[in-house]
């Protein structure tokens, strides 16, 4: 059953750790949005309010899962370019590279945004036709953050997809760094960019959100690829590697909490945070030391991350608002638990269906050819 929900890999090589890392990123974002929704919308009066501030603090930085996605994207997209330049591998055909983006990711995105356009205007009547349509056009053209000072009106999470597409366009140019033949110089240059870009963003503040603000996360992925194709590709005998992996992972979130409450020192924490991010991904992707990331149910949910990311918040809002009118008990913690279970189940169920019937078919690189072939045969 799980195999039916496994993503189709165009390269033919399934790396479970990648989908495991996607699971961490998407669950972080999902529970961040869920906790924020419940915090704002739960207006019930309770006899007993339990103090769960510690859990709320952890969930409150779940937005950082987006940056973790950026690292994964940097790793995945740069692999074929690194293989071409460092290993004399197959040449990356740029036309095919961009066409794959259009056929793989655009259909689910356009469908979701079109449904939300209709719903926002004619069902919930949240936006006027003009505002919704203009926001829709900006979103599907990936320029919303350049025209608005707020996140996309139809689907707030779509802002990060604009960052992703900017990186996608820049990737062939950024990949030229792999043409630096000296391994040490090449890695030092990438490392310099990783440190320099946060400092640049701290000095020069722009009125819009762009890849400049987040490019260092993609560059970490590119640096990891460099190591994966180098001599370090052979597993090293690192003592206490499981412990180091755990410490690295926990450190990422502790530092993010520090950033949240120490904005004056944000730049220093942000640069320091790059260290545990790199090592956690290094242990996971190159050393293969994080066994949790290989568990089938984890990789399956992680493989559906794009679908979950696209539809989870509209689903939380659509089903959460009427659900919050039901008071299951006089205990806040019990209500919060039940609300969370119900909304999580709804999101997983809906995402599974959307993934199976919409996104997964688009993963087949020849899906368009197969459709035309069926029409020609009169099927």
- Collect all residues with Cβ–Cβ distance below 8 Å to 348 and sequence separation of at least 6: 301, 308
**Single pTM value for the model:** 0.94
> Could you read off the pLDDT tens digit of each residue along the chain, which spans 379 residues?
566 677 777 666 788 999 999 999 999 999 999 999 999 998 888 876 766 677 778 899 999 999 999 999 999 999 999 999 999 999 999 999 999 888 999 999 999 999 999 999 999 999 999 999 999 999 999 999 888 877 899 999 999 999 999 999 999 999 999 999 999 999 999 999 999 999 998 887 777 789 999 999 999 999 999 999 865 555 667 778 999 999 999 999 999 999 998 888 899 999 999 999 999 999 999 999 999 999 999 999 999 999 999 999 999 999 999 999 999 988 888 999 999 999 999 999 999 999 999 999 998 887 777 777 766 655 5
Q: 26: closest CA among 91, 79, 72? A: 72
* Burial class for 172, CB neighbours closer than 10 Å (0-12, 13-18, 19+): middle
- The Cα 156–Cα 150 span in angstroms is 9
Residue 288 region by backbone torsions, left for phi larger than 0, else alpha for psi between -120 and 50, else beta:
left
Q: Report the DSSP beta bridge partners of residue 331.
A: 48
Q: List the chain domain ranges.
A: 2-376
Q: Quick one: tokens of 130?
A: 């003009």
Question: Shortest CA distance to 115 belongs to which of 160, 142, 143, 154?
Answer: 154
Query: Do 177 and 84 meet the contact criterion of CB atoms below 8 Å apart?
Result: no
Residues 6+ apart with CB under 8 A from 134: none
SS (H, E, C) 278-301: HHHHHHHHHCCCCHHHHCHHHHHH
**Nearest of 156, 149, 11, 182 to residue 80 by alpha carbon:** 11
- Count of CB atoms within 10 A of residue 220's CB? 24
């Amino acid at each position: 059953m799980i195999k039916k929900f496994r993503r189709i890999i165009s390269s033919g090589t399934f790396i479970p750790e990648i989908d495991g890392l996607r699971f961490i990123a998407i669950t972080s974002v999902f529970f961040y949005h869920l906790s924020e929704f419940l915090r704002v919308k739960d207006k019930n009066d309770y006899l007993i309010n339990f103090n769960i501030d510690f859990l709320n603090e952890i969930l409150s930085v779940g937005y950082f899962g987006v940056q973790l996605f950026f690292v994964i994207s940097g790793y995945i997209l740069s692999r074929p370019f690194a293989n071409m330049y460092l290993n004399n591998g197959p040449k990356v055909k740029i036309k095919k590279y961009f066409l794959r983006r259009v056929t793989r990711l655009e259909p689910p995105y356009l469908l979701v945004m079109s449904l939300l356009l209709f719903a926002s205007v004619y069902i919930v009547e949240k936006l006027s036709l003009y505002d919704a349509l203009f926001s829709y056009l900006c979103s599907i053209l990936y320029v919303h953050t350049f025209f608005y000072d707020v996140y996309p009106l139809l689907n707030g999470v779509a802002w990060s997809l604009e960052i992703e597409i900017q990186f996608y366009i820049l990737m062939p140019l950024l990949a030229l760094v792999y043409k630096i033949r000296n391994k040490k110089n090449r890695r030092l240059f990438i490392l310099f960019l990783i440190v320099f870009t946060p400092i640049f963003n701290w000095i020069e503040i722009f009125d819009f959100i762009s890849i400049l603000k987040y490019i260092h996360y993609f560059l970490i992925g590119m640096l990891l690829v460099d190591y994966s194709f180098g001599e370090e590709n052979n597993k090293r005998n690192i003592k206490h590697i499981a412990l180091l992996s755990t410490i690295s992972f926990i450190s990422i979130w502790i530092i993010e909490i520090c950033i949240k409450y120490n904005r004056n020192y944000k730049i220093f924490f942000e640069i320091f945070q790059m260290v545990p991010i790199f090592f956690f991904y290094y242990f996971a992707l190159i050393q293969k030391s994080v066994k949790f990331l290989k568990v089938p149910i984890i990789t399956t949910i992680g493989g559906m991350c794009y679908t979950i990311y696209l539809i989870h918040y509209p689903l939380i809002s659509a089903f959460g608002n009427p659900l919050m009118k039901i008071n299951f008990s006089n205990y806040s913690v019990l209500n919060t638990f039940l609300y969370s279970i119900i909304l999580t189940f709804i999101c997983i169920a809906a995402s599974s269906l959307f993934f199976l019937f919409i996104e997964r078919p688009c993963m087949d690189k020849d899906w368009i050819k197969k459709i035309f072939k069926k029409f020609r045969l009169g099927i």
